[in-house]
Amino acid sequence: MSAGLIDTSSNMALFRSIFLNDIPLIDTRAPIEFEKGAFPSSVSLPLMTNDERAKVGVCYKQHGQQAAIELGHSLVCGGVKEQRVAAWIEFARRNPQGYLYCWRGGLRSQICEQWMTEADCDYPRVDGGYKAMRRFLIDEFERICSQHPLLLLGGRTGCNKTALIEGSGRAADLEGLANHLGSSFGRRADGQPSQLNFENALAISMLKAERQAAQTGQPMLFEDEGRLLGRCVLPPALMAAMKRSSIVVLEASLEERVEHSHRNYILNKLAEWQQQLGEAYAFDTFAEDLTQALFRVRKRLGGVVYGEISNLLEQALNAHRKGDPEKHRGWIERLLVDYYDPMYDYQLRSRSDLIVFRGDRAAVCDWLNIEF
């Protein structure tokens, strides 16, 4: 597509194409804006730094637009300008199908486009910028939630529902998008996205799931989750859709669930902390994370049970420090039996009329038409 402002009448089709095909995007807003909320396929190559943007903003309020533009040009000039233009051109060379945008498709992206054109690089900018694309995602998200049937995959903690979600091809992996394992113990070493980033990625994932569901004639699949995944909040439209959706229940033995939880919450999480912090500091952080996660559910456990499981956890951590991670299985089993199972069973009984199938992994895969 030639450079220049994208025709407003084609925006819907353009946005859909960008998000369904992960089209690369240059985000020319300041880093602080990018960190608050952006799109999965975008990279931050700002016209101005946070400090430069702040100065221009103050100038705009005090002296008007023209004075702010002149200040901006004085701040981004010479070698600084050359470096930033070179970064945009390099991105365009590697991603000729891409676009650039700012907050509303206004002055900042216009300046970037102009400077790139002056350097013999034509690159299109998005009409409406981040704000218009974000509005598109919100509208599409709410449309999908209200119009399309969803199918929930439920099951007790440790059933490894996520593997089926990932293998279905027509699902939005809520835990993956939130970078969280979905319980008090679900914190990941590399942290979670901002709420806006989570919502943007979720909407895009739902667009892709809708397309795949349409191709296969199957409903979109979601893991049966609560409102919170760590600090990420599921939007109200999705929660409303999930409350009225049919449920497929995956069943697994206690032994299988302990094994999965041990691998996921102990072995894999320690490996994540080691990769993030290095061997010297990882175990202490890992141990503190487990201890605090158990402390957060102490009231629901009750004082006696909490004390017993806490002692088992402490013994397991001491053994683990000496090279034996197997003792974790004891407190994991107690926690599943005394806390997670009763809680999930109670929640599921209140929606028993929505259950359309239940079975082991092979049976559920067959019912969902997922390769086992």
Q: What amino acid positions are annotated as catalytic residues?
A: 102
Return d(Cα 63, Cα 69) in angstroms, integer. Answer: 11
Q: 268 vs 157, 262, 331, CA distance in Å? A: 17, 9, 17
Residues in a beta bridge with 232: 229
Instruction: Report residue 288: phi and psi, to 5°.
Output: -65, -40
Relative orientation angle of helices 78-94 and 107-118, to the nearest 10 degrees? 80
Buried b or exposed e, range 135-164, using 16+ CB within 10 angstroms: ebbeebbbebbeeeebbbbbbbbbbbbbeb
Provide the pairing of β-strand 246-250 with 150-154: parallel
- Work out whether the CA dihedral 18, 21, 22, 25 comes out positive or negative: negative
Q: 215 vs 7, 77, 219, 354, CA distance in Å? A: 29, 51, 10, 25
- With a CB cutoff of 8 Å and minimum separation 6, the contacts of 356 are 246, 247, 248
State in Å, rounded, how far the first CA of the chain is from the last one.
43
Return d(Cα 126, Cα 53) in angstroms, integer. Answer: 21
